[in-house]
A and B are shown apart, each in its own frame.
Chain A
Amino acid sequence: MQGFLDNLIRNAGHDPATWPYTQFVYLAGMAVAALIVINFAAIASGIFSWAERRVAARIQSRVGPNRVGPAGFLQWIADAVKLLLKEDLVPDEADQFLFRIAPYFMMVGFCCVFVTLPFSHSLIVADMNIGVFYIIAVTALIVVGIIMSGWSSNSKWSLFGAIRSAAQIISYEIPGGMALMIPVMLAGTMSTQGIIRAQGGLPWQWFLFDNPAAFAAFFIYFTSALAEGNRTPFDLPEAESELVSGYNTEYSGMRFSYFFLVEWGNLWVMSALAVTMFLGGWQIPGLSPERFDALTGGTAVVAEIGSLLIFALKTLFFVFVVMWLRWTLPRIRIDQMMSMCWKYLVPASFAGVLFVAVWMLIVNAAPWLGLAMRFTLTAVGALTIAMFALRVLKNIRDTGDKFDFTSNW
């Protein structure tokens, strides 16, 4: 980002180091980047709210919102406008100041993640050398927002929801963080772009299939991300049947919409992070990052768009998986949630880190072993997916139905 702005200044005939207005250009650049990122987050979460309803409907043999715009696509705009125009109600007994600012804490914690989250080969706000660490750190701001909203609402439902959420996020940050350490160790950097560059475009070059511990770490990370994002089956903080709506019970109108924006925007964050760390990010098969850097002109633009598409498609697939999970799994009990974290995921993630440390030494001594393991795990993964697809088709056939994805939209 800074390099891009420096180039702009140089093209205008100034030296960025001595030109007095350089800092203003940086500031303007930051404002533009923030605007783009926040709008991307808002629009993406809006679209996900529609997509989630369509996916939910389809899984429940319904149709879902399909009247506003093509296939109901503009439904999210209608809903957003409705939410923005609703009365902003602050309860009488609430802590007015905290109640009002809590949603912004959540928004800040959520939007800051996008700073180091890549979109394509060169589309990234700032490629920090502590990228992963930064992401883990700023997501903690969301907990602050949740606790604030729960406490300031002065409602027992909100408070219970907030405390559950805090307990959940603090617990699951440990296995989640440890799981993310595995690709960091494999890549030798915390920079998100660096981690992507350390992988490749083809499945066996991904960290997901690097070794069994990394394979397990992907699932540990994904589970923890679900818990941190308060997604089903870990939606205890907003369990409708127990807590009305959890920490956002007392909110209405625009402030309420911030909570929902964060929840759905989180789908992109957790999926994009999974793709970055384990699934080769924007890597185009057959095009190494070094050759990508050397591209110029039209080919560079085409490759850029290609890498953007690859990244987006991988991410959207995992967004779909999260939605799919929501309509599959029931909410787990709070003691199960805790025991799952502390008895299973935490030990497994620590063991995985140790295993990877050893494994890297072994592979260093015998590179063929690493290659064999990559191919084996990729084959296992492909086989699993194939078996799963067959199982799905069998489920459809067993009830006398047909495979039909196109009718009754």
Chain B
Amino acid sequence: MAETQAQSGRQAEGAFGAYVKNVRDSAKSFWEGMSVTLSYMFRKPITSQYPDRMSVSVNHTIPARYRGFLEVDMDICTACQACERACPIQVINIDILKGDGKLVPKLRMERFDIDIGKCMYCGLCVEPCPTGAIQHTREFEGAVMHFNNLTLRFVPDVLQPVVAYKPPKGADAFPRKQLGEITRSLIKAWDAPPPPFPSKEEAAKAEHGKPKAGALDVAAMGRQLAARALQVKEDKPKLQKVIEEAMAGTDCGDCGYPDCFGYSDAIAQGKDFSSEKCAPGGADSKAMLETILVTLKTGVVPGPGAGEVSDGSAGGHHKNMVSPEGVSPVSTEVEKPTGPPLAQTLSKDELYKVVLDAMAGTDCGDCEYADCDGYSKGIVYEGQTDLNRCAPGGEDTRVKLYEIMLGTKPPAK
């Protein structure tokens, strides 16, 4: 009996103790909690009042590796287009002009646009860049009056294409401009008023006057390369050089080899039979490599077959011209049924001028004469019968020289 009384007494004490404890606990938690919140009342808020009430300029608060707007230093851009291919959402647009590498530079870019409005700042384009030309800057303020203005154009003028940078062999550092300079200057012009819209006449004039410079006759060049490759078939180093010419030459490494040498050497050694691996070269490189591979296999240079007629007429009206002088379309002259060739009607001096005219005029020396003058004289005065030597002039010059000297179409190489 006494025991149960003591027990219930303890229980009552326990219940009362818990009651008091609850009151004490709540008072204590008020004390702690309210002292903490009030202490924050008397501290400086962490907020940065961007943009107008910053204590320091926002540019100084952005971390060094911030992924802001992209920037391309065109001076060290190899035009490999690795960034364009890496971009998962097609933000980067690069238009390439191909030349033969002699008369006109092999690769030029007439457009390098990055649509910042679409960019998601993933940085995938920065990683494959062989020279570090494309980088994220720390610029991020992209408020513009029209979203079209958000496109950064790193080639400001289509009419003045930028020549691709050829990195020195083995280089691992490249002379890059101060990061951010280029993009900042482009941003400054973002909301500048657009130039006046050209009138219809002006637009038409501009369209016609536009020099269709530096485009490439892919099929012809492929055949030339194939012919040269056939000549040096057994000399692997020389063969490698010939094959490398069919490639874009950006050393981008997309093919799986470290550089263009690796890929071309593998083809030359007969270890690789794929013509599709040169991504920067695209369809052009693929076609040329295909021609070379077929030629090496069969031992015969394919003629300008039905599939390649396009290089004469249909294949885009600027693709069939070789020289910037824009000689008149070949096909019309070839089809003209004329009488005896000029070589039999003109005097030698006049003939010499016509022959000299037909050449590319780059004085490249590929013909093994000192210059174009020498080759022309050789043909006219010295009885040189090989009319196939003008490499920069390519198929066009060949056609003309055969027309002038023999009055026939040139044979397949």
Is B44 a contact partner of A404 (Cβ separation < 8 A)? yes
Nearest to A348 among chain B residues (CB) is: B23
Q: Give the bracket for the number of chain A residues in contact with chain B.
A: 20 to 34
Is A327 a contact partner of B37 (Cβ separation < 8 A)?
yes
The smallest beta-carbon distance between B28 and chain A, in angstroms, is 12
Interface size on B, residues (CB 8 A): 21
Give the distance to chain B from A399, nearest Cβ to Cβ, in Å: 8
**Of all chain B residues, which has the CB nearest A320?**
B41
In the assembly, what is the distance between CA of A328 and CA of B35, in Å?
A: 9
Given A328-B37, A395-B39, A396-B39, the answer on whether A61 and B23 have CB atoms closer than 8 Å is no
Query: How far, in angstroms, from A329 to B33 measured CA to CA in the complex?
Result: 7
Beta-carbon contacts under 8 Å, B17-69 to A: 19, 22-23, 30-31, 33-47, 49
A405 an interface residue at 8 Å Cβ cutoff? yes
Contact of A58 with B39 at beta-carbon distance under 8 Å, contacts A344-B23, A408-B49 already known: no
Q: Closest approach, in angstroms, between the C-beta of B17 and any C-beta of chain A?
A: 15
A395 to B40, CA, bound (A): 9
- Picked from A61, A328, A404, A407, the residue with its CB within 8 Å of the CB of B34 is A328
Across the interface, A60 reaches (CB within 8 A) one of B38, B39, B40, namely: B40
Query: How far, in whole Å, are A324 and B34 apart by their CA atoms in the complex?
Result: 8
**Residues of A contacting B30 in the complex (Cβ-Cβ under 8 angstroms):** 329
Instruction: Tell me, in angstroms, the Cα distance from A388 to B47 when the chains sit together.
Output: 27
Q: Indicate with 1 or 0, residue by residue over A388-407, a CB within 8 angstroms of chain B CB atoms.
A: 10011101100001111101
CB pair A62–B47 under 8 Å, yes or no, is yes
Give the distance to chain A from B192, nearest Cβ to Cβ, in Å.
Answer: 30
Contact between chains at B36 and A395 (CB < 8 Å): yes
Q: Are A63 and B47 in contact (CB under 8 A)?
A: yes
| Pairwise interchain contact B38-A392, C-beta atoms closer than 8 A | yes
* Proximity string of chain B (277-289) to chain A, C-beta cutoff 8 Å, 1 when within and 0 when not: 0000000000000
Complex-state Cα separation, A396 to B36, whole angstroms: 8
- Name the one of A329, A344, A395, A407 contacting B22, with C-beta atoms under 8 angstroms: A344
Of residues 195 through 254 on chain A, the ones whose CB sits less than 8 Å from some CB of chain B are none
- Are A59 and B41 in touch, CB under 8 angstroms? yes
Question: Smallest CB–CB gap between B31 and chain A, Å?
Answer: 7
Chain A residue nearest to B36 (CB atoms) is: A395
Chain A contacts for B33, CB-based, 8 A: 328-329
- A351 CB, min distance to chain B CBs, angstroms: 13
Q: B44, A59: Cβ atoms under 8 Å?
A: no
Is A57 an interface residue, CB under 8 A from the partner? Answer: yes
Chain B, Cβ-Cβ closest to A396: B39
Write the nearest CB–CB distance from B162 to chain A, whole angstroms. Answer: 46
Q: Which of A55, A328, A404 has the largest number of chain B CB atoms within 10 A?
A: A328
A395, B37: Cα distance in complex, Å: 9
* A327–B40 CA distance with the chains assembled, in angstroms: 11
With a CB–CB cut-off of 8 A, which chain A residues contact B45? 57-58, 61-63, 408
Which of B23, B42, B44, B49 interacts with A392 by CB under 8 Å? B42
CA of A134 to CA of B132 in the docked complex: distance in angstroms?
80
Docked complex Cα distance between A41 and B39 (Å): 31
Contact partner of A325 (CB less than 8 A), chosen from B31, B34, B43, is B34
Interface 1/0 per residue, A45-64 and B, CB below 8 Å: 00000000001011111110
Closest residue of chain B to A388 (Cβ to Cβ) is: B35
**In the complex, A218→B316 CA distance in Å?**
92
When distances are taken between beta carbons in the complex, the residues of chain A under 8 Å from B22 are 344
Q: A63-B49, A388-B31 are in contact. Are A324 and B37 (CB under 8 A)?
A: yes
- Compute how far the CA of A395 lies from the CA of B122 in the bound complex, rounded to whole angstroms: 42
Residues of chain B with a CB closer than 8 A to A55's CB = 41
List of A residues within 8 angstroms of B47 by Cβ: 61-63, 408
Question: Please, which residue of chain B has its CB at the minimum distance from the CB of A343?
Answer: B19
Asked if residues A391 and B35 are in contact (CB atoms below 8 Å), the reply is yes
Q: Hey, which chain A residues are within 8 Å of B38, CB to CB?
A: 59, 324, 392
Q: Which residues of A contact B35 (CB under 8 A)?
A: 388, 391-392, 395
Query: Mask for A365-409, Cβ within 8 A of B = 1, else 0?
Result: 000000000000000000000001001110110000111110110
Whether the pair A407, B44 counts as a contact (CB closer than 8 A) is: yes
**Beyond A61-B43, A63-B45: 12 further Cβ-contacts under 8 Å?**
A61-B46, A63-B47, A324-B38, A329-B33, A343-B19, A391-B31, A392-B38, A392-B39, A396-B39, A403-B43, A404-B42, A404-B44
Chain A residues in contact with chain B, CB under 8 A? 55, 57-63, 66, 324-325, 327-329, 343-344, 388, 391-393, 395-396, 401-405, 407-408
List 25 interface pairs A-B (beta carbons < 8 Å), by A numbering. A55-B41, A58-B40, A58-B41, A59-B37, A59-B38, A61-B45, A61-B47, A62-B46, A62-B47, A63-B47, A324-B34, A324-B38, A324-B41, A328-B34, A388-B34, A395-B36, A396-B39, A396-B42, A396-B43, A401-B43, A401-B44, A402-B43, A404-B43, A408-B44, A408-B49
